[in-house]
Structure 1
Amino acid sequence: MALNVETLGNLERRITISVPLQPLEAQIKQRLNQISRTAKFAGFRPGKAPIGLVNQHYGNQVRDEVYSGAVEKSFGDAVEENKLRVAGFPNIEHKPFDAASEVLEYTATFEIFPEVAIGDLSKVKIERPVTDISDADVKKTLDVLVKQRVSFEPVKRASKKGDRVNVTLKAFLDGQEVESTGDNGIDLVIGEGGRVASFDDELIGSKTGVSKKFDITYPEDYESAQIAGKTVGYEVTFNSVSQPKYPEIDADFAKSLGIEDGDVEKMKAEIAESLKQEVAKRVSAKLKEQVFQALADNSEFDIPRAILEVEINRMMQTTEQNLKQRGADISNIRLEPSMFEDQAKRSSKLRLLLGELINKNGLHANADQVRAMVDVFSQSFERPADVVTWYYADPKRLDEPAALATEENAVSWVLTQVKVTDKKVKFDDLMGTA
């Protein structure tokens, strides 16, 4: 086998390979002999047809298979001999196999993986968020839990903010009815959000049985293009007005949250512990985000186009699936690869960096770390033990927890190389609820 390696660019290579055909003739003959033992031809018993007839019917197919196998093997040998790490699939070009005589010559054009070097991290500064869980934070969480369990009771007074009203509604645009609840009323909580504030303002001050008309002019940038910048007329009839009734924070409330003995203080302690766990997750996420940015900022290398295109396609498919789940009409949405180019470059670069860092420093997760990650996954389910059993019933199911545990090892390693300082932050700021 003769070969020549050309450098076409930073990552692009082309190999020209010549494969002698004489040694392949024995393989072709052997294959034809195997076929002849079972081949059926009119006028001949199975396995008794002349080899020439077998060759006439199957020769081209067998030759193509043998030659294709020779191309695949010779390319693999050439890559190994030249210590090339091929990224993606090669583009192989050759003349028709039946045109080859003594030598089959072909070219393989492909990309190689770049030399990935982790930049100097010693001067990188990373801030670790630090926050304390206060009684006020526990109270805020309790308030949210109370509001989630609100019930409503009918009242005879006029409606006000926070009340739930049941209304029948008609909407008109340019004098034409565009929406109607029919005879079925709908429940609206006044001031709950999701609507323009001026609409909810019109729901305040009316009693059961009252009907009213009003106009709402929607902003130019309103999310619904049909009514953005337009004035919509409404006819609303109030079927009922109900005021919110919030549960007391007592033993029954504690039991509803899983505290079997109804101990309110124990409930608060568990809420505090839950908040601490959530804070730990947020801190971990913030650190990981900074670590990934530091790796990306301190390393420069080209990304193989083959890898980039795979990542772009993955992102496009994920985006399309998400849009479908949200009810979007995909036929009216045109996703272009260029929309995902920058994001794909960053994620591909990080994947290569993490792979190099993990392999070079032996950071693959061990069995105990994988089990710890599985335990974390299982805690959000009612029967954690069953979830653990499910993961270990099929080794492939451990791929995800193993990858995440390995990623955590990489983040921890980077944190030992950089300058980490603690930064006091408010609980609400960390949680994004400020």
Structure 2
Amino acid sequence: MQVSVETTSNIERRMTIGVPAQEIDKAVEKRLQETARTVRMNGFRPGKVPYKVVKRRFGDSVRQEVVGEVMRDSYVKALEESDVSPAGWPRFEPKTMEEGKDLEFVAIFEVLPEIELGDLSKIEVEKMVAEVTDKDIDKMIDNLRRQQATMKEVKRKSKNKDTVTIDFKGYIDGEAFEGGEAQDHRLELGSGQMIPGFEKGIVGAKAGEDIEVEVTFPEDYHNEDLKGKPAKFEISVKKVEEAQLPELNEEFFQRFGIEADSEEAFREEVKKNMERELKQAMSAKVKNDVVDGLLETTEVEVPQALIDQEIDRLRNDAVQRFGGQMDPQQLPKEIFQDQASRRVKTGLLFQEIVKANDLKADDEKVDEKIREIASTYEQPEEVVTHFNSNPEQKAQIESVVLEDAVVDFVLDQAKVKENKAKYDDVIQAAQQQRG
């Protein structure tokens, strides 16, 4: 077998492989003889069909089948003998396949790119620093109570936090516009569901009143035809309801899986959860900035085979999130192309930093991460034991810790600016990056 490898780009290789005709012919003959022993043909007893008849009838298809197998086997053997690591399965292009002649074909495949890291000192990272305050806890508990609230109709003027039922119709330059009308629409005042000024204009109105509210659509509004345009809404207030908040008692605490016998104990548990969420959000924000910086400072040519693999994973994840009632392949690749490309590039860059700097997952930090995860469960020690006795799941934790080590390595060289922020700002920033 003769093998030569040509580099056609940073990530593409063309491997030309030659296989002696004798090897192909021998394999074809063996397959035809096996076929002759089992094939059934009119006029012949089973197993008694002459070889020449079998060859005339099945020779071309058997040869094509054998050549396909030989190309795959020869390619795998050639890889073992060469210093090449493909990123995915190749595309085969036969050059000569005629009977009696040596088989020659080209295997075209992608390899992992050679990465030259950019100047990490040019990366800029914003590190949002925040604490969970008593005001943040009060707001969180108020939100939790409102999630469990019952509604009571009232006859007074509406105010923020009330829920109103309204009919409305919007006009621009005196003309009604598409999508600007609704009936029996329930709206919590102050929730920010509607464009600026709409909800504020309803505050103070009673059930049975008809009002007009003038607003201006934001410049970044999703509808191009409405961006920045002034509008007038005719609104009929049909009902005003206020939330009846549940008492802070043990029954309420248990609805959120918290065993507490007092409001103080409940607040402490809420605070712990918020601090955990805040820590994760700050970490996610920093990591995202690091990834952005790496992608800006380092060019990475990505094998399409790896992107396709990641797209398949994203497709499967999407289907599972929405109930798993469809074939993932029905989801268009284009939906996931950018996200998959970013993930693959990030993975390659992180691998390069790990390899170039001999980074490893610190055992103490792995144990710390496991304990952190375990603390969210009722029986934390059982969770710790589970991770430590399950190599596959522990390896996932080690992978996360190693990613953190890469982020820390980049931060040591990057320009890091700390900005004091509020709890809500950090959570919102992290959510926007995920979205």
Runs of at least 5 residues in structure 2 that lack an aligned partner in the other structure: 324-331, 431-435
Partner of 2:175: 174
Check 1:139–1:413 CA distance in 2 against 1; reply closer, same or farther (3 A cut).
same
Partner of 1:376: 373
Contact 1:252–1:262 under 8 Å retained in 2: no
Q: 1:412 Cα deviation (Å)?
A: 2.4
Q: Does 1:114 align with 2:135?
A: no
Contact 1:316–1:340 under 8 Å retained in 2: no
Check 1:24–1:390 CA distance in 2 against 1; reply closer, same or farther (3 A cut).
farther
Match of 2:405 among 409, 412, 416: 412
Check 1:127–1:320 CA distance in 2 against 1; reply closer, same or farther (3 A cut).
closer
Partner of 1:303: 301
Give the Cα separation in 2 of the matches to 1:121 and 1:170: 54
Q: Percent identity?
A: 27
Runs of at least 5 residues in structure 1 that lack an aligned partner in the other structure: 326-333
Q: How does 1:7-406 map to 2 (within 5 A)?
A: 7-95=7-95, 97=97, 99-116=98-115, 131-169=130-168, 174=175, 185-208=184-207, 210-212=208-210, 214=212, 216=214, 218-219=216-217, 221=219, 222-224=221-223, 229=229, 231=231, 234=234, 236=236, 238-249=237-248, 253-254=252-253, 256-260=255-259, 262-289=261-288, 291-292=290-291, 296=295, 300=298, 302-307=300-305, 310=308, 346-356=342-352, 361=358, 363=360, 376=373, 379=376, 402-403=395-396, 405-406=398-399
Q: Deviations along 1:126-160, whole A, 9 cap, x unmatched? A: 78765544434433333333444444433333333
Check 1:49–1:378 CA distance in 2 against 1; reply closer, same or farther (3 A cut).
farther
Give the Cα separation in 1 of the matches to 2:299 and 2:163: 59
270-279 or 5-14, which deviates more: 5-14
Q: 1:39 Cα deviation (Å)?
A: 0.7
Give the Cα separation in 2 of the matches to 1:81 and 1:122: 41
Contact 1:170–1:177 under 8 Å retained in 2: no
CA RMSD of aligned residues (A): 5.0
Q: 1:374 Cα deviation (Å)?
A: 11
SS in 2 for 1:193: coil
Q: Deviations along 1:199-243, whole A, 9 cap, x unmatched? A: 3344344433x342536565274434676647455352x443333
154-163 or 44-53, which deviates more: 154-163
Contact 1:168–1:181 under 8 Å retained in 2: yes
Q: Deviations along 1:7-39, whole A, 9 cap, x unmatched? A: 333333333332111123222222112111211
75-84 or 371-380, which deviates more: 371-380
Contact 1:291–1:415 under 8 Å retained in 2: no
102-111 or 55-64, which deviates more: 102-111
Q: Deviations along 1:319-358, whole A, 9 cap, x unmatched? A: 9989x99xxxxxxxx9969x956x6654333212334555
Q: 1:42 Cα deviation (Å)?
A: 0.6
Check 1:301–1:141 CA distance in 2 against 1; reply closer, same or farther (3 A cut).
closer
Name the TM-score, length of structure 2 as normaliser.
0.72
